[in-house]
Every structure is written in C-alpha cells, then in structure tokens.
C-alpha cells in the first residue's frame, strides 16, 4: 500500500511514493567546472539528485553556490563536465527566470502565444489557449495588456503562463519571486501551489529564501557554498513549518560560516 507524502503549509496535491519513485529528473555524479585564465573553478561537485514525477523539490543555498548552474544543466542550456543528467519524459523542461524576460512590445497574450507557436500549435488555436493559460494564473483580463501596464507580480504570472504553455513535464524555476515584495510573493506562493496541485507538475525550484523553500517544497535540498555539493536534505512532512524553517536556517548559516573559514 502506497504512502502519501504531503507538503507542509498550504494544501497541495498528495504525491504517492510509488509515483515519486518514477523519476522526472535524475542527476548522477554531476560536476561542472569552468577553466578561466588557466585556472579551474569548480561550481558543482558530484551532485546526485532524483526528482520524482509530480514532486515539488526546492534547492536552497547561498548566493553563488551553483543553484542557477544546476538548473541550466537540467534545462539543457549547458552540459555537465562529468556525470549524467536524465529527463525521461522526453520533452525539454520549461525554465522560468527571476527576470520575467517578457517581450515588452508584445501584449501578455502574445507573449504566451509565442511559446505556443514554438511548440507548433496552429495559429487559430493560440489565442484561446493563451487566454486559458492566463486564466489559470488568475490574469483573465490581461490578454490585451502591454507588459508596462502590469505590476511586477502580474508580469511573473504571465511568465508562468508562458512556461506552462510549453506543456513540459518538468518546470524549472530560478528564484522567480526574489524581486517581489513580501505580500506579492506570498500570494504567488499560493498560486503556484494551486497550479502545481491541479496540473500534476514536477517542479524543481531554486531559492536562497529559507521560508520560501520550506513553504513550497515537499523536499528541501541544501547546497553547500562553492563548490556546490548536497549538504543536507529534509522531507517537509510531519514537522511544523516554523520548526523546519529554524532547522534549515541553522544549517544554511553553518554552511555560510564554514565557507567563510576556508
């Protein structure tokens, strides 16, 4: 009989352990380094991580620990120096950045349609699909609005709709709410949890915000400072959010102190 893994905090879709054991992303002994001016700089070192289908995993770490590099590798924008990355679904993951990266000369709807166009969706179908996706992120009336007419939170919702338009098996999120104020960020946390729960998404989310990681993730994975290695991991089950936040914060501070002593 399958157990159920539940996320701490806002209600979310339960993920059966049997389902989570089927990987959506698997990294095996992944390292990444860059050779600059004759010196090798190792960013990630021997990363092993498996994300189950339908799972929401948050990768946490201090600035510069290699979180964005990790997502770029999973997205296929770069290649690991050693190791293997497997995304069995067959479709390229969708990547959402901290900067919304929307085209300002297009409307919100046209920005979403662009992703549909790149997927090969017929032109006549794109407007209706874009409207449905904007409705999904609670922007039903924003289809014809230019980007400069939207608030920061609304722009990130459009960026999320555009990422969802790619119909990917895996959604990669690179600190997408870091530039927003606390109230807007909390609202978008709730919206993301709802969309994840309703659409059977697999999410790999990177952040340096402990509260955000604990609130959203079913698992929280802590990367050490450079080179980035998996230092600790927590299942967000059965522990009150405040208590887990305190534990993770203490571990992150210790990693930062350890890095400073080198």
Same domain for 178 and 83: yes
Same domain membership, residue 174 and residue 89: yes
Partnered with residue 202 across adjacent β-strands are 170
Last-in-domain residue among 167, 196, 219? 167
pLDDT of 202-215, one tens digit each?
999 999 999 999 99
For 71-85, write each residue's pLDDT tens digit: 999 999 999 999 999
Angstrom distance (rounded) from CA 244 to CA 148 = 39
- Number of domains observed in the structure of the chain: 2
Q: How far is CA 241 from CA 144, 188, 212, 234, 249, in A?
A: 40, 18, 11, 12, 12
Say if 98 falls within a structural domain.
no
Q: Are residues 206 and 159 in the same domain?
A: no
Residue where the block lists tokens 């993920």: 15
Task: Based on the fold, state whether residues 159 and 31 are members of the same structural domain.
Answer: no
Whether the upstream peptide bond of residue 227 has omega within 30° of 0, thus cis, is yes
What is the pTM assigned to this prediction? 0.89
β-bridge pairing 4-5 and 94-96: unpaired
Which residue, 120, 201, 114, 106, is CA-closest to 155? 106
Task: Give the domain range for residue 212.
Answer: 4-93+168-260
Residue 99 lies in a domain: no
For 120-144, what is each residue's pLDDT tens digit?
999 999 999 999 999 999 998 999 9
Antiparallel, parallel or unpaired: β 82-86 and 23-36 = antiparallel
Q: Which of 167, 182, 214 is the last residue of a domain?
A: 167
CB atoms under 10 Å from CB of 254, counted, come to: 14
Reported as a single tens digit per residue, the pLDDT across 233-252 is 999 877 899 999 999 999 99
């Amino acid at each position: 009989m399958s157990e159920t893994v539940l996320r701490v905090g806002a209600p979310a879709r339960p993920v059966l352990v049997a389902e989570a054991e089927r990987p959506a992303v698997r990294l095996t002994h992944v390292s990444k380094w860059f050779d600059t001016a004759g010196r090798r700089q190792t960013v990630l070192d021997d990363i092993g991580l498996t994300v189950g289908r339908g799972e929401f995993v948050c990768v946490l770490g201090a600035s510069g620990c290699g979180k964005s590099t990790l997502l770029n590798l999973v997205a296929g924008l770069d290649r690991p120096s050693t190791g293997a990355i497997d995304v069995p679904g067959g479709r390229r993951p969708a990547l959402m950045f901290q900067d919304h990266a929307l085209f300002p000369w297009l409307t919100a709807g046209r920005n979403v349609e662009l992703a549909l166009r790149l997927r090969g969706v017929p032109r006549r179908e794109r407007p209706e699909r874009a409207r449905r996706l904007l409705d999904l992120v609670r922007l039903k009336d924003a289809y014809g609005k230019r980007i400069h007419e939207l608030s920061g939170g609304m722009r990130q919702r459009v960026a999320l709709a555009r990422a969802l338009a790619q119909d990917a098996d895996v959604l990669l999120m690179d600190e997408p709410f870091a530039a927003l104020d606390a109230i807007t960020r909390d609202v978008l946390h709730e919206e993301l949890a709802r969309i994840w729960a309703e659409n059977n998404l697999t999410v790999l989310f990177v952040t340096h915000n402990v509260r955000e990681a604990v609130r959203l993730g079913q698992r929280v994975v802590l990367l050490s400072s450079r080179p980035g290695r998996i230092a600790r991991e927590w299942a967000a089950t059965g522990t009150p959010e405040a208590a887990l936040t305190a534990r993770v914060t203490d571990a992150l501070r210790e990693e930062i102190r350890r890095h400073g002593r080198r």
